[in-house]
Amino acid sequence: MSNAPGNVSLAKQLVDHPAFNIGNPNNCYSLFLGFARSPVNFHAANGSGYEFMADSVLRVDKLNHQVAARMVSAFTTFKQFDTKRQALMKAQLERIVATPGLSENVFEIASKSLA
């Protein structure tokens, strides 16, 4: 995933691309974890990268708990960032943890991150 600003919208488009299969773990790792490694887009000041990633974690969790658990690990270092980004990341972790029907795998990682 490129570090060019504004790639949140591109990542959203890639999710809907016919070649992308959200049920394929390698597709998820490539797109979502690649996105999470983009300091410009995942850590966008407006929080759009965090929201996209949290939405993606919740979507994948319905299909594959283990893949979603690995994806949510992108949020585990939130305390290392500035207070604004910490608050934005924490809000997404709290939203994930509060989701009804969340898998134990994702809940464990997200809740431990908040502790």
What does the pLDDT read at residue 7?
79
* Range 11-34 average pLDDT: 95
| Contact by Cβ (8 Å): 77, 65 | no
CA nearest to 68, candidates 98, 110, 100, 35: 110
What does the pLDDT read at residue 21?
97
Q: Using one digit for the tens of pLDDT, what is the confidence trace for 64-113?
A: 999 999 999 999 999 999 999 999 999 999 999 999 999 999 999 999 99
* Per-residue pLDDT at 115 exceeds 80: yes
* Range 4-25 average pLDDT: 89
pTM of this prediction? 0.93
HSE of 22, CA atoms in CB hemisphere, 13 A: 20
